[in-house]
Amino acid sequence: MADSLHTLKDSGSASHDSSWTHVTGRSEYVDDRPLLKHELWCGLVFSPYAHAKMKTLNLNFALKVPGVVAAVTAQDVVHNHWGTIFQDQPILATEEVQYAGEVVAVLAAETKSALAEGLRAVEVKWEKLPAIKTIDEAITQKSFIGEQRTIARGNVEEALKNSPHKLKGVVQIQGADHFYLESQAAVVYPKEDGQLEVHSSTQHPTETQHVVAKACGLAFKDVVCIAKRLGGGFGGKESQAAPIAAYAALISQKTGRPARLVLTKDDDMIITGKRNPFQIHYEVGFTSEGKLMALDAQLFSDGGAYADLSTAIMERAMLHSDNAYYVAHMRVKGQVCKLNYHPHTAFRGFGGPKGVALIESIMEDIARATQKDALDIRKLNCYKPGEDTTHYGQALENNLLPGLFEKLENDCDYRARRTEIQKWNQKALLESGNPRGLSLTAVKFGISFTTKFLNQGNALVIVHTDGSVQVSTGAVEMGQGVNTRIATIVAEELGLPISSVRMMPTTTEKNANTSPTAASSGTDINGAAAQKACLEIKKRLAALALRLETIPKESWAYKTAGLGTMPEVVLGNDIETALSEVSFHNSHVQIRKTSFSIPFVELVREAYLNRISLSEYGHFRIPHLGFDKIKGQGRAFLYFTQGVAASEVEIDRWTGEVKVRRVDILMDLGRPINYGLDLGQVTGGFIQGMGWVTTENLVYNDDGFLLSHSPSTYKIPSIQDTPRIFNANLVHNDGNTVNVKGTKAVGEPPLLLCLSVWTAIRDAIMSFRGNQVIPLAIPATAERVLRALSPEDFSSL
């Protein structure tokens, strides 16, 4: 099968639409907007404790500081509860706070220095209350968010009972900060008649519009939210940008002045939620060959103090607990726990990485138990014909996983390197050297929102009379290149160079009721909507071209319209069939059966003069979806993005430091719209995930306050952490026909391949420890690695 897979080469991708302005520093972000006269700076007053009663909140001294203009509290909020799924979170807390960082007041001043002095003058007296700070405590106290969910197939108890071999374990997974370079930010301008114009660094302009409107007591029609671009989002601005915008909007509404709120990196990290921590209990049954017979898993997540998106994140973790492997008898239960931490939220991969971490860890453990290579265990259990239906009942179509495993195994010389590493580790054990590990893992990531109604998008395409095109969609550009991808789709449809297409800022007055740019579906739904709009415009232009062929050129509108003597062209009923007779290519429109050809710009001019519409609104909804959340069964996803990665690591046995020596990635992205951007997403996503599984350690004090809230205390990957050898390739796949242009989503799936680094670290540790099955929490920090290498040295600590 691997022989049928061929890697792609870049045939000349368009560059990122903002690459030049990024490099020259001309890209405009929210805080780059010029200050207006009378504009106010906003700052937040928030709790230092995980759970506390606010005895008093005294803003009087702050309001007497010169330059401090106003403050808002919960009393100023018309509708003080919000939430993406459950409306359970106050915009501004009242008497009781549920996490360190929960906001109780907003202060506004005319200068930054006055704002800082005013914030220092705020007096708050707190009474600390008991807080739940571990998942175990939440389970004991039955502190939960939502109901427990179950997705199951087969008879798990009977299959476990009949399994020749069984393993039990617990997988501990911490959270991680999004660490976007642009912190949460919003600028709000009061307009006439009580309207508000909101510029927000948000992945979900529609939700931000709605939360602002409700907080201020306005109809949605009176609030416009605009998101030109984001300096990174990664899920952290899907829901949690909304209250930030509401804080600025409340000040603007109260004062009638523009208001700006831009969080510092420290405040941003303290206030905002992270990737959900998980604690997973499991039992697995398997044969002597390592074939999975049954898996019973209980997933608990830390949702933080409020629901946010945690129940949906749990659902995706449950849906991805099989990853690339078929389990005939499988039961996955999921329960979100309510703890006193910032409400955790979406993060690249959503819940998928946690489910995949579970099954990939199990693959490594089974390999130890059966004394086989972990890759052979993975290949034995991989989805294949006859075993190609998930535990939630969706058939795995266009399955390339067996071939991907085989091809990467050959391409990265896995077998020879495994033998070499075994020899190295034997020598290292004798000579106090550093152990090495190698692991090859997979990803099968479902593409679509599991909440059905979110799988829709819209686009407005406007063709101007000079032949240039403006496109507005609900997709938000946050560095991932969605604008370039959609512009490419539009340019190809209209037969124009991409330079003729301008992507406009995302705004709720042009694209309303949009879904968040999330779930790796930004191009899928918005690009397809833009394509539909283009097709309608092309139908009209094609029908016009067929008419113009029969009309002498001297009678065309551009020569006769000014005189009023033009014979007006009326499009007939054949508009639906005209497109099949005409091609749009190289900025020309050509009738296929004749030699008639007209420059695109001339045809557009004729359309305008003949009063034929040159703009179109396209709406697209993803078809064929039908997942029953109650039963846990059905088609949850339109398709799956698939890939494999092999990672080799070396561990300093004296410090626990991990060096990633080599990474090889092979991914199926269908027919990429933009090879260069997709490859950038593959490598960038992998490195971001690598930080999560190795160095990004969130540390809280006893009061639940985040201590690692800056670059000096929270270590994201640097250039020194990237693999010494880093190979990434895409395979050619024409078999994916369900998505726009035959492409596959790339935003989230590559991140999950980072788990090959974690399992490679486990491989090194377990090899060093005589192939014992040794658990290792995520992130595998140097301290954790060192403890796993030499637990006896830490037994008394």
pLDDT tens for residues 763-774?
999 999 999 999
Q: Which of 105, 110, 113, 98 is nearest to 50 (CA)?
A: 98
Q: What is the pLDDT of residue 13?
A: 87
Amino acid letter for position 488 = T
Q: What is the pLDDT of residue 760?
A: 98
Q: Which two tokens stand for residue 446?
A: 């479902």
Q: What is the pLDDT of residue 233?
A: 98
Average pLDDT over residues 323-332: 98
Q: What is the pLDDT of residue 797?
A: 65
> What distances in angstroms separate CA 33 from CA 27, 28, 259, 656, one per listed residue?
11, 7, 12, 46
Q: What is the pLDDT of residue 432?
A: 85
Q: What is the pLDDT of residue 278?
A: 98
The Cα–Cα gap between 352 and 333 comes to 15
Q: What is the pLDDT of residue 3?
A: 61
- The partner residues of 617 in beta bridges, in order of sequence, read 460
DSSP 8-state secondary structure symbol assigned to residue 382: B
Q: How would residue 237 be classed by pLDDT, with cut points 50, 70 and 90?
A: very high
- Whether 414 and 408 have beta carbons less than 8 Å apart is answered as yes
Classified as helix, coil or strand, 627 is strand
Measured N-to-C along each axis, helices 600-609 and 522-548 cross at an angle, to the nearest 10 degrees, of 80
* pLDDT beyond 80 at 351: yes
Q: What is the pLDDT of residue 1?
A: 54
The residue with greater pLDDT, 163 or 4, is 163
pLDDT tens by residue, 24-40: 999 999 999 999 999 99
pLDDT tens by residue, 372-408: 999 999 999 999 999 999 999 999 999 999 999 999 9
The Cα–Cα gap between 105 and 746 comes to 40
The Cα–Cα gap between 363 and 381 comes to 9
Backbone torsions φ then ψ of 579, nearest 5 degrees = -60, -30
* pLDDT beyond 90 at 44: yes
Q: Which two tokens stand for residue 81?
A: 């509860």
* pLDDT beyond 70 at 268: yes
* pLDDT beyond 90 at 662: yes
The Cα–Cα gap between 444 and 399 comes to 9
Q: What is the pLDDT of residue 565?
A: 67
Average pLDDT over residues 6-13: 86
Active site residues: 748
Q: Which two tokens stand for residue 794?
A: 């830490």
Average pLDDT over residues 223-250: 98
> 698-707: buried (b, 16+ CB within 10 Å) or exposed (e) per residue?
beeeebbbbe
Q: How would residue 547 be classed by pLDDT, with cut points 50, 70 and 90?
A: very high
pLDDT tens by residue, 589-634: 999 999 899 999 999 999 999 999 999 999 999 999 999 999 999 9
Q: Other CB atoms closer than 10 Å to residue 283's CB: what's the count?
A: 17
Mean pLDDT of the chain: 96
Burial class (CB in 10 A: 0-12, 13-18, 19+), 80: middle
Rounding to the nearest 10 degrees, give the CA dihedral for residues 661, 666, 671, 672. Answer: -20
The residue with greater pLDDT, 139 or 17, is 139
Helix or strand holding residue 115 (H, E): helix 112-121
Q: How would residue 740 be classed by pLDDT, with cut points 50, 70 and 90?
A: very high
The Cα–Cα gap between 54 and 92 comes to 12
Q: How would residue 332 be classed by pLDDT, with cut points 50, 70 and 90?
A: very high
The Cα–Cα gap between 584 and 750 comes to 35
The Cα–Cα gap between 590 and 546 comes to 10
- The model carries a pTM of 0.97
Q: What is the pLDDT of residue 168?
A: 97
Which structural domains are found in the chain, ordered by start? 33-131+184-262 (3.90.1170.50), 278-450+628-795 (3.30.365.10), 456-621 (3.30.365.10)
Q: Which of 350, 364, 348 is nearest to 317 (CA)?
A: 350
Q: What is the pLDDT of residue 2?
A: 62
